[in-house]
Amino acid sequence: MSFDPKSHLSELLRAALASVAPAQTVADIVIERPRDPSHGDFASNLALQLARELKANPRQIAERLVRELPGSGWVDKAEVAGAGFINFRLAAAAKTQVVKEVLARGPDYGKRAPAGKRPKVQVEFVSANPTGPLHVGHGRGAAYGASLACLLTYAGNDVTREFYVNDAGRQMDILAVSTWLRYLDLHGEKVPFPPNAYQGAYVGEMAEQIRGAHGERYVHPAAAVLACVPPAPLRRADGDYDKAEKAQLEAHLDGLIAAGKDLLGEEWHYVHQHALSEQLADSREDLEEYGVHFDCWFSERSLFDTGMVGKAVAELEKRGHIYVQDGAKWFRSTDFGDEKDRVVQRDNGLYTYFASDIAYHANKFERGFDKVVDVWGADHHGYIPRVKGALAALGLPVERLDVTLVQFVSLFRGTERVSMSTRAGSYVTLRELRDEVGNDACRFFYMLRKQDQALDFDLDLAKSQSNDNPVYYVQYAHARVCSVLQQWDGEVKSLGDADLAPLASERELALCARLAEFPETIEAAARDYAPHAVAFYLRELAADFHAWYNAERVLVDDAAQKQARLALAVAVRRVIANGLHILGVAAPEHM
């Protein structure tokens, strides 16, 4: 059984408490690491907790507790500090025990085994409309969601990774009509292409695919297409349309969609599905190459096909949370803290996006998840109160839904900030970013700031092979250990039995203390949905390792010292590999 310093110190304090105040019981004795390492390895506020009940000065209580502490070979010193904190300094042997634990547990070091059944957690992330290639903003959401899912798995949860496919609704219709108009253009039928349709080259490529497979099958005269379509406003080269013109543009686009559905009839479905399938397949491939995998791709269309949307709205109506106004059905979301009520079914009978969102979240709970985590873009912050309000109205446990927001990414090439617009087609795709800086830099750099803070992505730094590049700095620590092991050419398994007594220098003991922080880092990061904390930890561990490596030789002549230092180096390598695995970053043996 591994040595747990917190449990050991807690036991010592309980023994002291039984002597100082036998009548007092404390359910949980808090043992924490001081922010300032000079204060010791661990600290407890037990005396402050007891002050009111004992009606005594907490510092005096602390001094009594310290006097009554049982002797321990794992503790070098216990002392009272400040208003009554008890600071502990561990013996060197206690600090180095972590090396043996890391070597023994290997890939499982840092993982927590729950006492009972593993909680079922669903993490839904990315969920981008399949209307074009994923861009760098999606890349941050993918990196965060995938790392969070892995982090929660390490923390003892049974995690399901899910992508919600928005394959129903207007955006997909816009992609379909954009593809069809490009297809018509290939056959000489010139319909002016709307500026608010999807502009990217991939739209033309899909049109070429349809022509190659079906020739002129879906061709209709341009005049027939435009016959019943509201006119578009005059095209502006600068794209600066006023509010009325934007509304006219959207009405024109809706008219083109209606014309496509009318002229193509049942064959509209093919164009629609071809565009959906192509873009969804591209997103899948892109994410797989990025190291982001999903257990479930959930179709929005299935919610309509199975009647789940209608069922959810009917249940809200039955519970008295729906009213009718101007022929539309409204959810009383203001009763649940939203800024205004929301339409769930329009006067034409069509359900809104919000209605399908309600049904989707109700379905999540029907699937029996203990916790549901949604990863949304920051521009969706307004959806949180209305979705939670709808779940509360349905009588579902809202406290089991957590929504975490991912802020935008600003990509810099030199001093130039690159703008992005999906319909306009002028954006940097995730694939382009990966091709330029590599998957590892992408995944790690996205974790260098908390997900709800805006991120400036420095391309030049991400590509540099220097200690200023954080991913290079961490990976280089792993590779350095591998290089030492190649020079040593011994059996790594034998290091598990190494005598660690020679690990006595300040740097070596500090490195051991850093290794011991890894499980705590995982636990706290999982609790706070904060995988960036793992990236920060790895930078600190790498810094401690490089400082030690540059100051001390590992392959010294003294056999015992060499074995001890090799064991420490291999433990560092293992923890770096475990941390990089959580972040989806490779742990290379050569740099």
Strands 158-165 and 296-299 come out as parallel
**pLDDT at residue 335 greater than cutoff 60:** yes
> Is residue 101 in some structural domain?
no
> Is residue 131 in some structural domain?
no
Q: Tens digits of per-residue pLDDT, 48-66?
A: 999 988 899 999 999 999 9
Residue 90: what are its φ and ψ, rounded to 5°? Answer: -80, 150
Query: What number of residues does the chain have?
Result: 591
**pLDDT at residue 422 greater than cutoff 70:** no
Reduced to 3 states (helix: H, G, I; strand: E, B; else coil), residue 411 is strand
CATH number at residue 47: 3.30.1360.70
452 plus 545 within the same structural domain: no
pLDDT at position 541 is 98
What is the rounded CA–CA span in Å between residue 394 and residue 319? Answer: 8
272 plus 332 within the same structural domain: no
> Is residue 247 in some structural domain?
yes
Contact 325, 343 (CB under 8 A): no
Which string of DSSP letters, residue by residue, matches 236-305? -TT----HHHHHHHHHHHHHHHHHHHHHHGGGHHHHHHHHHHHHHHHHHHHHHHTT---SEEEEHHHHHH
Q: Which residue in this structure is represented by tokens 């509010």?
A: 243
Average pLDDT, integer, range 472-479: 98
Residue 324: what are its φ and ψ, rounded to 5°? Answer: -105, 130
User: What is the number of domains present in the chain?
Assistant: 5
443 plus 542 within the same structural domain: no
> Is residue 389 in some structural domain?
yes
Contact 496, 100 (CB under 8 A): yes
> Is residue 138 in some structural domain?
no
pLDDT at position 588 is 97
Reported as half-sphere exposure (CB side, CA atoms, 13 A), residue 266 has a value of 0
Contact 524, 152 (CB under 8 A): no
274 plus 325 within the same structural domain: no
Average pLDDT, integer, range 478-482: 98
pLDDT at position 491 is 94
What is the rounded CA–CA span in Å between residue 84 and residue 148? Answer: 38
Instruction: Pick the last residue of a domain from 280, 301, 329.
Output: 280
pLDDT at position 520 is 94
Average pLDDT, integer, range 111-119: 87
Percent of the chain with pLDDT over 90: 87
CATH number at residue 563: 1.10.730.10
With b meaning 16 or more CB within 10 Å and e meaning fewer, what string describes 254-280? bbbbebbbebbeeebebbbebbbebbb
Other CB atoms within a 10 A radius of the CB of residue 158 amount to: 15
Under the banding of pLDDT at 50, 70 and 90, the label for residue 513 is very high
pLDDT at position 235 is 84
431 plus 396 within the same structural domain: no
Instruction: Kindly report the average pLDDT of the chain as a whole number.
Output: 94
**pLDDT at residue 423 greater than cutoff 70:** no
473 plus 535 within the same structural domain: yes
| Residue 559 Cα distances to 41, 156, 504, 564, angstroms | 30, 39, 15, 9
Helices and strands, number each (H, E), in the chain: 22, 15
Q: Find residue 89's DSSP bridge partners.
A: 77
Instruction: Pick the last residue of a domain from 264, 280, 296.
Output: 280
Average pLDDT, integer, range 176-191: 98
450 plus 493 within the same structural domain: no
Under the banding of pLDDT at 50, 70 and 90, the label for residue 2 is low
pLDDT at position 42 is 94
Under the banding of pLDDT at 50, 70 and 90, the label for residue 366 is very high
453 plus 474 within the same structural domain: no
475 plus 567 within the same structural domain: yes
Average pLDDT, integer, range 422-443: 83
The amino acid sitting at 542 is A
Token pair for residue 8? 């050991």
Contact 321, 332 (CB under 8 A): yes
> Is residue 502 in some structural domain?
yes
321 plus 273 within the same structural domain: no
pLDDT at position 413 is 76
Average pLDDT, integer, range 286-303: 98
Q: Domain of 443?
A: 409-463
Average pLDDT, integer, range 308-313: 97
Contact 212, 145 (CB under 8 A): no
Q: Tens digits of per-residue pLDDT, 196-248?
A: 999 989 999 999 999 999 999 999 999 999 999 999 988 887 778 999 999 99
Question: Which own/partner pairs from 313-317 qualify as long-range (CB within 8 Å, at least 24 positions apart)?
Answer: 313/344, 313/345, 313/351, 313/355, 313/358, 315/394, 316/344, 316/358, 316/390, 316/393, 316/394
324 plus 259 within the same structural domain: no
454 plus 479 within the same structural domain: no
> Is residue 152 in some structural domain?
no
**Model's pTM, two decimal places?**
0.92
pLDDT at position 237 is 78
Average pLDDT, integer, range 282-303: 97
**pLDDT at residue 416 greater than cutoff 90:** no
pLDDT at position 426 is 58
> Is residue 331 in some structural domain?
yes
Q: Tens digits of per-residue pLDDT, 133-142?
A: 999 999 999 9
**pLDDT at residue 405 greater than cutoff 50:** yes
Token pair for residue 94? 């206690």
pLDDT at position 419 is 64
**pLDDT at residue 421 greater than cutoff 70:** no
Q: Tens digits of per-residue pLDDT, 53-107?
A: 889 999 999 999 999 999 999 999 999 999 999 999 999 999 999 999 999 999 9
Instruction: Pick the last residue of a domain from 58, 75, 90.
Output: 90
